[in-house]
Amino acid sequence: MSIQRTARDARHRLRQDEIIVAARRCFRQHGFHAASMAQLASEAQLSVGQIYRYFTNKDAIIEEIVKRIVDSRVHEMLATSSNVHLCELLAWRQMQNSDDEALMMEVAAEATRNPRIAKMMADADERMFRHACEKASRMHPGFSAERIHASVEIIAVLVDGTSYRRLTPQKASPERLYTLYQHINDLLFKTEES
Amino acid sequence: MSIQRTARDARHRLRQDEIIVAARRCFRQHGFHAASMAQLASEAQLSVGQIYRYFTNKDAIIEEIVKRIVDSRVHEMLATSSNVHLCELLAWRQMQNSDDEALMMEVAAEATRNPRIAKMMADADERMFRHACEKASRMHPGFSAERIHASVEIIAVLVDGTSYRRLTPQKASPERLYTLYQHINDLLFKTEES
């Protein structure tokens, strides 16, 4: 690859990153549905025409944002070695990046009316779920695929439910929740198949 | 109360109901943030001025929608006598009214940028949580308030997480999930305090 080509590619990626940063800010402020390509271009200090050189439409920008959020979540999930950490996250609600969470809430709201966004959300969940099951299978080789799926699904419900509930004040004692979450984790991953 | 007054009140309630129905449709289609009072009036086949006679602004309409959703959820929760039903709802994702759920997702997305909507959501959750704790206390008089709060919080996480995950395809076997949810329910409500 020529030096010129490499420099051009780097410039392209940098510009793409700038658009994503501006779009995230814009979507957080106005919502996906209300934010226009014109607002987005203005936020990125680019012309609408320039934006279209990088993304064919607003949905393509949302797709790239979701892709990056899922990449970082998969990375984080694979990096943590135990579920003790997970019980802590759930009980103290020390969840993921709160800006990412708000954007995913936006994706969820939009998914209820836009089939393309619903498809994006389904693909993202599929990818996250697959990685989580692979990890759980490696840690619990004796478990059947069915049991792994069910246990991972319940963990996903707990993680997504906690993200949602973080929007309202915590009403239970985190210490007490921690103990209960540890019991639930044992139930999901330490008990025999039943 | 005079017959005239009664008739006027009934007309007022009827008109208010019509506005709520139109607003729900409008919000579902465009999102809270994008839907304008003008669109809403057109959907309800009223003038903007007429809408303002019933609701001071868009937030007041959202508040009434949220109030009605919570009323119906509290009613439903108090009507079901056992948690077996709950485990079924979770496992088979036979959740509440899916239109209500989509609107609450919209509320959640809007709550991340609008403090008044966040306050509304917090009040709604507070009310729901209080009723759930009172019911759980009646069913488990030996449990401490702290334990009731923690168990109810985990049920709320499971319910909200399942609502959220209903937006993507189910990947685990409902029968297997049902068994696990029953064990979790026993853990939350049948085991001694620990």
Give the tens place of pLDDT for each residue, B149-189: 999 999 999 999 999 999 999 999 999 999 999 999 999 99
Q: What is the pLDDT of residue B191?
A: 73
Instruction: For residues A110 and A155, give the distance between their C-alpha atoms in angstroms, rounded to a whole number.
Output: 24
A70-89 mean pLDDT: 86
> Which pair of structure tokens corresponds to residue A80?
């943590």
Bigger pLDDT: B44 or B1?
B44
| pLDDT value of residue B34 | 82
> What is the C-alpha to C-alpha distance for residues A133 and A135, in angstroms, rounded to an integer?
5
Residues near B49 by beta carbon (within 8 Å), at least 6 away in sequence: none
Tokens of A47: 């012309």
For chain B, say whether A125 makes contact (Cβ under 8 Å). Answer: yes
Single-letter code of the amino acid located at B166: R
Place of tokens 């392209």: A12
Nearest to A168 among B34, B125, B169 (CB): B125
Residue B71 has pLDDT above 90, yes or no: yes
Domains of chain B, with CATH numbers? 1-55 (1.10.10.60), 58-194 (1.10.357)
Contact B128, B73 (CB under 8 A): yes
Per DSSP, B63 falls in state H
Min distance B21 CA to chain A CA atoms (Å): 17
Residue A192: the pLDDT is 66
pLDDT of residue A135 exceeding 60, the answer is yes
Helix (H) or strand (E) holding A50: helix A48-54
In this complex, is the C-beta atom of B188 within 8 Å of any C-beta atom belonging to chain A? Answer: yes
A31/B28 touch (CB, cutoff 8 Å), yes or no: no
The predicted pLDDT at position A193 comes to 60
Tally C-beta pairs within 8 A across A and B. Answer: 179
Question: How confident is the model at residue A153, as a pLDDT?
Answer: 98
pLDDT single digits (tens) A11-60: 889 999 999 999 999 999 888 888 899 999 999 999 999 999 999 999 99
Q: What is the structure's pLDDT at A78?
A: 87
The shortest C-alpha distance from A109 to chain B (Å) reads 5
Q: Evaluate if residue A97 carries a pLDDT over 90.
A: no
Q: What percentage of chain A exceeds 90 in pLDDT?
A: 74
What was the pLDDT predicted at B3? 85
Residues B9-23 have a mean pLDDT of: 93
